[in-house]
Structure formats: structure tokens, C-alpha cells
Amino acid sequence: MTTTTALDFARLLSTRAKIGYQPGMGVRSNRMVANPLFDFGAGRPDPGTFPYDGLVDATARMMKEEGDQALTYGDPLGYAGLRDLVVHKYDLFEGLKIERDNVIIANGSGAALALAFSAFVDVGDAIITEAPTFSGTLAAIRRHGARVLDAPVDAEGIDTAAVRRHLETLRREGTPCKLIYTIVNFQNPAGPTQSLRRRKELVALAQEFGTIILEDDAYGELRFEGEQLPSLYALDDAGCVVRSGTLSKILGAGVRLGWLAAPKEMIPVLQGFNFGGGVNPFMSRVAVYFMRDNLKPHVELLAKTYHQKRDAMLTGLWEVLGGTDVEISKPDGGFFIWIKLPTGTDPKKLAQLAAEQGIQYAQGPGFFPNGGGEQNIRLAYSYETVEKCYEGSKLVGQVIKQARA
């Protein structure tokens, strides 16, 4: 038998697959530390809040009542009971009235956002995002080959004047802006909640320029301070806003259940990219059987927990870094603190020192679509205990001090 030459599959790759492709490349990972002592990296929910027994019980009840439906193919838009839970959640927490037909379920909000990118973005198309913005979404945006124009974030959220300038530039070019991606509450990573004024301006801009706003709100229910403001979805009356949400932060990320709320006419288009036989019929039912009776008290428990953790981390950081010119965000909810390092901090040295101490955090540059962020880091206070948030953040403060030139 002759030796066969291995296939050179690289020349068969799609345009999107070629983005970032290198022969022999490995699987993506954003971990600096294998088994961190202090995991302040990803936005992982607190395992101490997981309703272990509640979900076992929900599984047993669900299997008795509709196990046959849970184990077969499902509705291409997702389990009706989960779509109804989404409708109920928006009403309960915000008084926002939507209908089941506005909702499509996906495998987590990352997959939900990817539905929108697939539906609207061709390689080379222009979109607008915040800078910084969520690194996970940026990975999906890059995979779709979007050209990203970025607008800065200040204390009121996205800089709408910068958005307008981008929209005007694109209009002059004759290039449509396919969508504006924004995180309205406790912006990830920078922390601010978009002000009502900015929200209204952003919706007005989308309407004026005929584009879509993709409103990411993974953390909205987990507010422990400040005033709740109406969503962009609620403020829009022209079908310009698609809004994503998730059970990852209020139940558990491992259930992989997210959704888009969108104008009804858009739902079939989005559904075209939900390949396969319905999203998680089993998992959706387990989640609904637990959440429909526990939504409000469970979310209240979570908000209280994350409030304590945020405070513990802020206390630890300021105890050590007070007196430097560090900038530390103080979000009204969510999972993250964003830090502008004190002048003179060497980010490479910091990464090395932190790794030696078993500290995992997220480095700034991953959050910027077009460069920048070398002097930023993001800390998640969500995963570790209150005590470890306090102790670990002091340690972070110390390695930051050591990493100054």
C-alpha cells in the first residue's frame, strides 16, 4: 500500500474560518492560570448559589409530567414554557410587556448574539461597538468578519456623539451600519450603567440612520444599587432593537439557555441560524420547572450575594491601592470591577506576578476591538467567596504595586 498524503484542508476553509487561522493552532482559551487560587477571570456565577436540590427536584417533576416531550425534538424557537418565562421575567422585573412571539431561545446568550451576527453581518460589514466591550462577543464578531468602529464609554455609558460621527462617516461612504452592539447595565467590562439620556439618544440614532441596536443585558436583574432604567428595547417604537438575555447569571451558566427578544417579523430570520432540532428541550424544561416558582426570591438572593462580594473586593483593593492614582469602577450590579492600573504599572510583569500567586484575571486588551487597554484589567468578584474576594483583591493590589516600574 502506498503512503497517502494528508489532506491540506486549509485551502478548503470558508472565508470566516480563515479569519485568524494558522496551521497547527490550538483551541482558544483565555486562562492564564491552570488551577487558580483566586479566580477573578471569567464571569462565572457563584457555585454557592446554585440550586442543586431544586434542580434535581425540578428534573423529577418535569420527567413525570412531560418527559416524553423533554426527550424528543423541540420547537425551533425553543420550549414555549421558557419563552413564556422570559415574557414573565421582563414583566416582573421591569414591567416590560412583550409576547412569546417576540422571543427565540438559543444555547446561551453567546449563541443568541451569534444568531444576530449571522443574520445581519457579512464579512467586511460595518458595525459599531463600545470600547471596551465584552471579549466573548468580540470573538464572535471577529469570526463573522465584521469591521468594527468603536465608541468610547464614559460614566454615562456609550458616547453617543461618537456613535453619531461613525454613522455619519458610514453614510458618506454609502456603507450601511449593520448594527450597534451595546451593554446597557453595568457595562462589561467598564462598569457604568447607560444613562436615560444616552439611551434615548442611542435609540433615536438607530431610528434616524435605519440600523439595529443589539442590546446585551446579561446582568440586568442583578442590580443592587442605583435606579433601574428602561431598556433600549422598551424605549424603541420602530423595531430597531434586538435584546439578548440569559439564565447563565441568574440560574447557572451550565444550563446554556439564552434568548433574543426581537420584533416578531425578525424571528424567522434569526431562527434560520438555529441549526438542528430545537434548543435543549430537556434542559429548558428543567430550568423552567425550577425558575417559574423561584425567580424573584432566587434573584434577590443573588443580588445580595454579589453586592457583598463587590464591596469586599472594593474594600480590599482600596486598602492596598489607596494613595495611588489607580481608577477602580464601582458598578451598580453585575459581576465585574474594571481597573485602570496606577501610572507606571508594567502589565506583563503584573501578569507574571499574578500567575505566581495563582490569581486569574482578565487582561484589558481582550476587551478592545481596535487596540488599547494595556493599562486595564478586569476582576470578576462573582465566583469566589466574600472572604476570598477580600483577601484576593488585597493580593491583587500588592502585585499591582510590585509591578510598577
- Determine if 196 is a binding residue for its own copies (CB under 8 A): no
H-helix segments, 248-365: 267-271, 281-321, 347-356
The C-alpha cell at 277 is 432540532
- Determine if 265 is a binding residue for its own copies (CB under 8 A): yes
DSSP 8-state symbol, 150: E
- Please name which of 189, 197, 195 lies closest in space to residue 218, comparing C-alpha atoms: 189
CB of 301 to its own copies, least distance (A): 15
Choose the binding region for its own copies from 172-180, 191-199, 346-354, 363-371 (rule: CB under 8 A).
172-180
CB of 376 to its own copies, least distance (A): 22
Q: Is 121 or 151 the residue whose CB approaches its own copies more closely?
A: 121
Q: Is 258 or 347 the residue whose CB approaches its own copies more closely?
A: 258
Looking at residues 96 to 115 of the shown chain, list those that interact with its own copies (rule: CB under 8 A): 107-111, 113-114
- Determine if 278 is a binding residue for its own copies (CB under 8 A): yes
The C-alpha cell at 13 is 476553509
- Please name which of 177, 213, 217, 211 lies closest in space to residue 193, comparing C-alpha atoms: 217
- Determine if 277 is a binding residue for its own copies (CB under 8 A): yes
DSSP 8-state symbol, 6: P
Residues 41/379, Cβ–Cβ less than 8 Å:
no
Using DSSP's 3-state secondary structure scheme, residue 47 falls into helix
- Determine if 370 is a binding residue for its own copies (CB under 8 A): no
Considering only residues 33, 38, 40, 77, which one is a binding residue for its own copies as defined by CB under 8 A? 77
Rounded CA separation 244/140 (Å): 14
Q: Is 102 or 193 the residue whose CB approaches its own copies more closely?
A: 102
Rounded CA separation 68/354 (Å): 50
Rounded CA separation 51/257 (Å): 16
The C-alpha cell at 270 is 434569526
- Determine if 245 is a binding residue for its own copies (CB under 8 A): no
Looking at residues 30 to 59 of the shown chain, list those that interact with its own copies (rule: CB under 8 A): 42, 44-45, 47, 50, 52-53, 55-56, 59
- Determine if 283 is a binding residue for its own copies (CB under 8 A): yes
CB of 70 to its own copies, least distance (A): 5
Looking at residues 128 to 167 of the shown chain, list those that interact with its own copies (rule: CB under 8 A): 136, 140, 143
Q: Is 267 or 303 the residue whose CB approaches its own copies more closely?
A: 267
Tell me the CB-side half-sphere exposure of residue 113, using CA atoms within 13 A. 28
H-helix segments, 25-123: 52-70, 80-94, 108-120
- Determine if 6 is a binding residue for its own copies (CB under 8 A): yes
- Determine if 26 is a binding residue for its own copies (CB under 8 A): yes
- Determine if 401 is a binding residue for its own copies (CB under 8 A): no
Q: Is 248 or 345 the residue whose CB approaches its own copies more closely?
A: 248
- Determine if 334 is a binding residue for its own copies (CB under 8 A): no
Q: Is 140 or 326 the residue whose CB approaches its own copies more closely?
A: 140
Rounded CA separation 243/89 (Å): 14
CB of 18 to its own copies, least distance (A): 9
Q: Is 169 or 175 the residue whose CB approaches its own copies more closely?
A: 175
Tell me the C-alpha to C-alpha distance, in Å, between residue 370 and each of 25, 146, 347.
Answer: 23, 12, 18
Considering only residues 33, 121, 214, 235, which one is a binding residue for its own copies as defined by CB under 8 A? 121
Buried b (16+ CB within 10 A) or exposed e, 88-117: ebbeebbebebeeebbbbbbbbbbbbbbbb
The C-alpha cell at 217 is 443585558
- Determine if 172 is a binding residue for its own copies (CB under 8 A): no
- Determine if 256 is a binding residue for its own copies (CB under 8 A): yes
